[in-house]
Every structure is written in structure tokens, then in C-alpha cells.
Chain A
């Protein structure tokens, strides 16, 4: 035996040339796909901040009423029109104090408590409407991508809905169907169902299109053929093989949907067709404060900043998710 090992076959000779292939084991331990996604996601600072802020706001409005247990509807006319606590910084005479950190409105209701209660409604509307839109969008997208017979009609239907004027129709539906739903579910429950339903029913189209496109491409891949050849039924193929593979576009459009739903709900409240007036939402608080914004600008600013920051963080989250879930960008 000589010092130099004689290559047994031409393939081994090639391996000698390409040094990288000599590695016996991978240079870094293998990790799961979601670990990779998380690593990429962490690199996007805006997305991490956005996700963190969204979590903070959601937790804040969920557990807020226990931490700040002031009734948002309690009238206290003696201590009306308090300014927020920070006005004391430049005006020590101001009517402010730690009893009402964000001040009170013209009827003496605590604004912090109202913001928490309003945030609850706004976020609940946002999450539920987004969920409804995703459900409809995914169902229509999967059906029309997987079943060729349904494709034409479902996509024509999607195109039709896409060309509906959404904001005018939403205004229309909310004003017209307010009474019967209120009569059945009470003024707050009825409005809630109506707004969630309308936003959900009018914002599923983009999800449906994206999901359909992905399903069309996935359907032709070998693993689907393999699944079909061992006799898997269509329902099983969709649930077991297709849906897990379209989860990333669905998650990205979910963030977009959440942002749109929050903005639409606030816009409806702002135009005066949303929830009843003693039922605070962020849009409602903003709209009610506009009349007095010369004297009390903070009442416009606080809910406006809450809406804007939430939507901004959701948008950044979506941006980061899109990068993290795209395997072509990941690892770069």
C-alpha cells in the first residue's frame, strides 16, 4: 500500500476535486423547517418589533380590564375633561392626575379604560373577520385549484366580487341591516356579527387567488401523484398534503387581512355607521373626539396612535413573515 490512496472509481476522484463534498457529515446540525423560519424571522428587526407589539397590544386588551379595573362606562361628571398625565410636564396647573392617567372625556369616563375596552372590540373584530376571510378564501382557493370543474365558475365569482365597490357596499349593508340584527342579538351583539360578517365576506378574494395558484402548482408534483396512486381520497390529499404546503401564503395574507379588518372597522365607526355610541371602539373614540379636538387633541391622538401602531406592527409582521417563509430568501 502506498501513501497516496488510489481512487477506486472516477466518482471518488471527483470528490477529491470538489472539496466540499468530502465532508462526512453536514457542517451544521440539521434543523426543522420552522426553526429555519424562526431564525430568518429574527433577522428582520421590524418584524420582531411588530410581532412583539401586536402580542403586547393583544395581551394588553385581553388582561387589561383586570389590571385597570375602572368601568369604561361609569359616568363621573364631577371629574370630567381631565387631561392625560403627561400634560403636567409643561403645565403644572392642568387638571390631571394618576387617578386617570389618560384623562377623562366630557362625561367623566376614564379614557384608559375606554381605550382598553375599545381595543378589545377592535382586535376581536379584526381577528374574527380575518379568520372568516381566511376560511372562505382558503376553501374557495383549494376547491377551485383542486377540482377542475369548479375552477372556472369559482374564479369568475371571485372576479365578480373583486369588482364590487367594497366600501360603499359595506356602508350600505351596515346601515340597512342594522335594525333586524339588533333586534335579534341586541344592539352590540348584532352590530358585532354584522361587521365581522361583512368584513369577512368582502376580503377573502386575495387569499383565494393566492391559494388557488399555489394549489395548481402543487397538484402536479410527484408526491401528490404518489399519494393518489396508493389510493388516497381527494379529501385526505387536500387535508394531509396540500393544506400544510400552502400554510405560508395563508399566514402572510392573514396579516394583511388583520390590518384591513381593523382599519375597515374603525372607518365604519368613524363614518358613524359602526357600533352604538356608548360602546367604545378605537374608531368610535376617535370619531367622537373629532368635535372637541381643538381643546382636547389627545382624545383624537390616543386612539389614532393605537390604530396606526397596531396596523403598522401587523404590516411589519407580514413583511417579516413573507421573507421568513420564502425558502428562496431564507438562509441568505
Chain B
């Protein structure tokens, strides 16, 4: 298992390099000019100098190499310094100072390091995305179990229909729909997610809770639909197995049979699906963040794209790619760990 994990980890390095090259190539081929916003009164030779100052004068392989160095070597150094110096978790470690003031990946919009902005935006996305995923899973698993156990019952039919609907309605429709119902007509929930809101006491916690309900539920609907379908399928596969009959025949209570014997075996594929679905949820968050005006990384990517901020776009897209590769790896490893029939040797 360990060798498999290591092999997959090593294999993911060329994968990531290739992906970064594809993204870089796309950006290089693109005709957009970052100087398009500069006023026309600026003479061309000054514009040329500005372009060179952004590193655009160098040939593409130099640009690519510099980006790689900055992302894989300098940014981790900054991150480790942050961890050991100021972070809450590892601040007790002796302070390090790996970062010696080298040039980091700089955003063209704000002229500040991209990773600093990403670090500012990440918590909002993680809160919304993470919470919605947990809520979705918590709702989906009981629905899946029960509708498989009562196969073809009214609950099963209704559950299948609702998951099918949840699967089919896109988040950019559920979002405005919920806003119309709960913000406009009923006036219960705020339609805009206020990220500057700080939770200090019960009242402010309630505000935070209310403003999170809608974005979380929109994302959770997709998760619920997908995972409860898988859960139901996996439970149905297992409920007809011989070992279930054996368990019943030896006089185990129905609750133990279903909730221990069947559930544990059915969770194996579902856990991998949960891991595999994680990056897709980040992708879906781009739309949800746009609907509810959450200033997370999805919204950051959109604004950077419209502003032609190539380093920011490159870094963000690559972060999404890292997430996908990472969760694919986690899913594979989990599958091997949970299912003793699977051996990757």
C-alpha cells in the first residue's frame, strides 16, 4: 500500500507539470494584451518597457521556468515561514526564514503576491464548499440507505425523483430561485454573503448562520443528489448478497444487519465517490459564489479572467488542478485501504 501511494505520488508530478504546461500554453496562445487598459497617451516605447517589467519580453520557456520556480520553490518557502512564525497551529516551532525576498508570483491587477490574495479568499470558499459538502453527505446517506432498504416503496420512488430533479437543476437556477423565494418574497435570508462579517457573539453568529444557509444549500443539493444515488445503488448491490442472508439466519437484529454489515460494505464505493466529487464541488462553487456574491477563489478567478491578469489565472487554475489530482489520489488510496479485496501490487 505504501509503495502504491508513493508511486502514485511520484506519478502525479509529471501529471501536474503537464497540466501546468497546458494552462501556460493556453495563456501564451491567447491574444489578450495586459497593456490594453493603459491609456492611449502613453507612448509605445514606455508601453514596451512596462511590458518588459511584467516579464513579458522574455521568451516563453523563460517565463514558464520562472513561474515554475516561483510556484514550486519560492511560494512553499513563504508558506513554511508563515507556518512557523505566525500561524496558530505550528507557531511554537522555531522561527524559520527561508524566504529571502525573491520575486514571488505577482498579480497584475493589484501588484501584490497572488498567493496572499488566494490565502485571503480561501477561507470563504472553504467554509461554503466544505460545509455544503458535509451537509450534503449527512442528508444523502440516510436517504440512500432507507430508499435501498425499502426498494420500490413510495419513499424510494419519491427519493429517486427528488434526487433526479436535484441532479438536473443547475445551481445558477436554484440560486436565483432561492433568492426570489427566501430573500425577496419572504425576506428571511440575506441574498448577499457578507464576508466582512465577524462572529463575536450569539447575535452575530445567527447572522452568519442565516447568510450561509442559501449558498450552502444550493451546493449541497447537487452533492445530495449525486451521493444518495450512489449510496442507494451500493446498498442495493449488497442487500441481496449471501452474507446478509447468513447474518439474518443466525438471528442478528435487522438494525445490526443493515446498519453494520451492509452499511460498512456499501460505504466503500461511496467514500471514493465522495473523495472524487470534491474537486467538482470547487468548480460548482465558481457559479454559486457568483450568484451569492461570495468573494471566494471562484469569484477571484472570474475577475482575474476579465481583467486579463494572467499570473493570477494561471495560479488559480493550477490550484484547481492540484485539488483534482490530490483527491483522485486520495480516492485510489482509500479504496485500497477500505476494500481488502483490492491490492495494488
- A residues whose Cβ falls under 8 Å from a Cβ of B: 46, 159-160, 163-169, 171-173, 175-177, 179-180, 259, 263, 266-267, 270-271, 273, 283, 286-287, 290, 293-294, 297, 300-301, 304, 307-308, 311-312, 315-316, 319
Rounded to whole Å, the gap between the CB of B282 and the closest CB of chain A is: 8
- B26 touching A308, Cβ below 8 Å: no
Contacts of A165 in B (CB 8 A): 279, 283, 317, 320-321, 323-324
CB nearest neighbor in A for B284: A167
Contacts of A159 in B (CB 8 A): 15
CB nearest neighbor in A for B28: A176
Contacts of A300 in B (CB 8 A): 173, 176-177, 180
- A283 touching B320, Cβ below 8 Å: no
Q: Determine which of B19, B31, B328 lies in contact with A179 in the assembled complex, contact meaning CB atoms within 8 Å.
A: B31
Query: Which residues of chain B from 291 to 345 have a CB within 8 Å of any chain A CB?
Result: 291, 301-302, 305-306, 313, 316-317, 320-321, 323-325, 328
Rounded to whole Å, the gap between the CB of A30 and the closest CB of chain B is: 31
Q: Determine which of B26, B32, B180, B283 lies in contact with A166 in the assembled complex, contact meaning CB atoms within 8 Å.
A: B283
CB nearest neighbor in A for B286: A167
Interface residues on B, range: 35 or more
- A286 touching B165, Cβ below 8 Å: no
- In Å, the complex CA distance between A168 and B301 comes to 8
Q: List 28 A-B contacts (CB under 8 A).
A: A163-B321, A164-B324, A165-B279, A165-B321, A165-B323, A167-B283, A168-B317, A171-B301, A172-B26, A172-B27, A175-B305, A175-B306, A176-B27, A176-B29, A176-B31, A263-B170, A266-B170, A270-B287, A271-B287, A273-B305, A283-B172, A286-B173, A293-B180, A294-B184, A312-B165, A312-B168, A315-B164, A316-B164
Contacts of A46 in B (CB 8 A): 161, 164
Kindly state whether residue B259 has any CB partner on chain A within 8 Å. no
- B177 touching A301, Cβ below 8 Å: yes
- B26 touching A267, Cβ below 8 Å: no
- B residues whose Cβ falls under 8 Å from a Cβ of A: 15, 18-19, 22-23, 26-27, 29-32, 161, 164-165, 167-170, 172-173, 176-177, 179-180, 184, 279, 283-284, 286-287, 290-291, 301-302, 305-306, 313, 316-317, 320-321, 323-325, 328
Contacts of A160 in B (CB 8 A): 15, 18-19
CB nearest neighbor in B for A175: B305
- A168 touching B316, Cβ below 8 Å: yes
- In Å, the complex CA distance between A271 and B303 comes to 11
- A293 touching B168, Cβ below 8 Å: no
Contacts of A175 in B (CB 8 A): 32, 305-306
- In Å, the complex CA distance between A283 and B15 comes to 34
Q: Determine which of B26, B167, B179, B305 lies in contact with A315 in the assembled complex, contact meaning CB atoms within 8 Å.
A: B167
Contacts of B302 in A (CB 8 A): 171, 271
- In Å, the complex CA distance between A172 and B325 comes to 19
- In Å, the complex CA distance between A172 and B32 comes to 11
Contacts of A172 in B (CB 8 A): 23, 26-27, 305, 313, 317
Contacts of B164 in A (CB 8 A): 46, 312, 315-316, 319
- In Å, the complex CA distance between A304 and B218 comes to 15
Q: Determine which of A168, A171, A293, A304 lies in contact with B184 in the assembled complex, contact meaning CB atoms within 8 Å.
A: A293
- In Å, the complex CA distance between A179 and B29 comes to 12
Contacts of B177 in A (CB 8 A): 300-301, 304
**6 nearest interchain CB pairs?**
A176-B30, A165-B320, A304-B173, A312-B168, A167-B283, A311-B168
Q: A172-B305, A267-B287, A304-B173 are in contact. Are A297 and B321 (CB under 8 A)?
A: no
- B172 touching A308, Cβ below 8 Å: no
- In Å, the complex CA distance between A93 and B140 comes to 46
- In Å, the complex CA distance between A316 and B168 comes to 10
- In Å, the complex CA distance between A124 and B22 comes to 29
- In Å, the complex CA distance between A172 and B19 comes to 14
Contacts of B30 in A (CB 8 A): 176-177
Rounded to whole Å, the gap between the CB of B343 and the closest CB of chain A is: 20
Q: Determine which of A167, A273, A308, A315 lies in contact with B173 in the assembled complex, contact meaning CB atoms within 8 Å.
A: A308
CB nearest neighbor in A for B22: A164
- B180 touching A171, Cβ below 8 Å: no
Q: A168-B316, A168-B320, A271-B286 are in contact. Are A308 and B170 (CB under 8 A)?
A: yes
